[in-house]
């Protein structure tokens, strides 16, 4: 085991662990936000720069600081490394810049977006963003592409994190979509407009950190904070059948994977469970689901004992500055 210190907290980890995962082992405020890294997807990370941290000492053997901020999701720890996350004004300033970049083209359509309330960019903007924009140019526009009857693509909201591409590559057995073109013309698209039809394609909805990929069967039905998540399961011959069902009274409004406090699904689920089983009688309901993430969705404390820390704006990103 090797020792890394993040924001003054000493953590012992296996060699090869990234700074982000070392911070996750300790938990709390020292964990950098991550918009593209997803622990269940190989090769994810390194795209969004949200997780930048400062390495103020490289290792015990060579304690020189690293000259630039590094992406914590793809930088392995060294023995004796000292890292600063929210204790570094430089990191907070850089993160504020990253949020500004991510929001350059992202439309502010949260009032009509199904992802509102559980959107990582909303949370990031709240914690690290600024209430003002300096951007005066026109935002990107894309031709609308229909990717099937279950998944809605809003390309203008995409932050090009590549998670959905890795999901399609690694969880399904046929990927028909990817990132086409380059630079600010880059877009998620299906090759010659094939629809994404595969038993596990619905998982792209769960991994998308923003509202670029949403569930057409849930579209505009309710704000997520009005529906109540319950752990439920069924016998399924394609996946584990362990899901979260989102109830409105006696009705099942949507079905998703069960997400942990970092917003990552515990297990990927199949499209039958997600899109076809919308009757309460389809499921064995285990009980209310604890929502540990601090986000609007975590605010109603659905179960006794749920620990949800109120969201707060960190340092430099004061929303009224
Ligand atoms: S559609 Fe969503 S998951 Fe896919 S690259 Fe864009 S933001 Fe990421
Ligand atoms: S989470 Fe590390 S670069 Fe995106």
Q: What is the pLDDT of residues 220-255, one digit of tens each?
A: 999 998 899 999 999 999 999 999 999 999 999 999
pLDDT in tens, 110-148: 999 999 999 999 999 988 888 788 888 888 888 888 888
pTM: 0.87
CATH number of 2-94: 3.10.20.740
**In whole angstroms, what is the distance from residue 251 CA to residue 147 CA?**
27
Mutate to test the pocket of ligand 2, among 18, 19, 50, 85 (most ligand atoms within 8 A of CB): 50
For position 24, what pLDDT does the model report?
Answer: 97
CA distance 186 to 158: 10
| Tokens representing residue 293 in the block | 């993430």
CATH 3.10.20.740 domain residues, the chain: 2-94
Ligand 1 in reach of 213 Cβ (< 6 A)? yes
Contacts of 44 (CB under 8 A, 6+ apart): 36, 37, 38, 73, 161, 162, 163, 166
Instruction: Among the bound ligands, name the one nearest to the CA of residue 212.
Output: 1
Rounded Cα distance, 43 and 37, in Å: 8
pLDDT per residue as tens digits for the range 13-22: 999 999 999 9
Q: Which pLDDT score, from 0 to 100, does residue 129 have?
A: 84
Amino acid 191: pLDDT: 65
Residue intervals in the chain for CATH 3.30.70.20:
110-298
CA of 64: how far to CAs of 51, 128, 213, 294, 306, in Å? 21, 28, 43, 36, 42
Rounded to an integer, the average pLDDT of 276-304 is 79
How confident is the model over 283-292, as a mean pLDDT? 90
Look at residue 291 in the predicted model and tell me its pLDDT: 80
Other CB atoms within a 10 A radius of the CB of residue 137 amount to: 7
> Looking at the domain that runs over 110-298, which CATH code has it been given?
3.30.70.20
Dump pLDDT digits (tens) for 72-103.
999 999 999 999 999 999 999 999 999 999 99
> According to the model, what pLDDT value does residue 51 have?
97
Task: Output the residue whose Cα is nearest ligand 1's atom 7.
Answer: 158
CB under 8 Å to 306, separation ≥6 — which residues? 290, 291, 292, 298
């Amino acid at each position: 085991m090797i020792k890394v210190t993040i924001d003054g907290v000493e953590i012992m980890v296996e060699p090869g662990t990234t700074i982000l995962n070392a911070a996750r082992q300790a938990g709390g405020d020292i964990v950098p936000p991550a918009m593209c890294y997803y622990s269940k997807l190989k090769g994810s990370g390194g795209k969004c720069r949200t997780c930048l941290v400062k390495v103020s000492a490289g290792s015990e053997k060579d304690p020189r600081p690293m000259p630039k901020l590094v992406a914590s999701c793809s930088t392995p720890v060294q023995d004796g490394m000292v890292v600063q996350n929210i204790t570094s004004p430089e990191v907070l300033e850089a993160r504020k810049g990253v949020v500004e970049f991510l929001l350059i083209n992202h439309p502010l359509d949260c009032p009509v977006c199904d992802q509102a309330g559980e959107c990582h960019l909303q949370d990031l903007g709240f914690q690290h963003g600024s209430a003002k924009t300096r951007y005066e140019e026109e935002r990107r526009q894309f031709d609308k592409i229909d990717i099937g009857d279950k998944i809605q693509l809003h390309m203008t909201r995409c932050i090009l994190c590549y998670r959905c591409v890795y999901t399609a590559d690694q969880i399904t057995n046929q990927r028909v979509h990817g990132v086409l073109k380059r630079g600010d013309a880059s877009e998620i698209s299906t090759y010659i407009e094939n629809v994404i039809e595969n038993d596990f394609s619905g998982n792209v909805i769960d991994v998308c950190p923003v509202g670029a990929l949403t569930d057409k069967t849930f579209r505009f039905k309710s704000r997520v904070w009005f529906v109540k998540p319950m752990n439920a399961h069924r016998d399924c011959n394609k996946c584990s059948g362990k899901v979260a069902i989102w109830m409105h009274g006696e009705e099942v409004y949507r079905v998703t994977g069960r997400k942990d406090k970092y917003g990552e699904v515990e297990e990927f689920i199949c499209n039958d469970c997600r899109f076809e089983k919308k009757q309460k009688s389809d499921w064995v309901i285990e009980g209310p689901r604890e929502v540990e993430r601090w986000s609007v969705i975590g605010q109603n404390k659905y179960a006794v004992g749920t620990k949800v820390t109120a969201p707060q704006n960190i340092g430099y990103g004061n929303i009224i500055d």
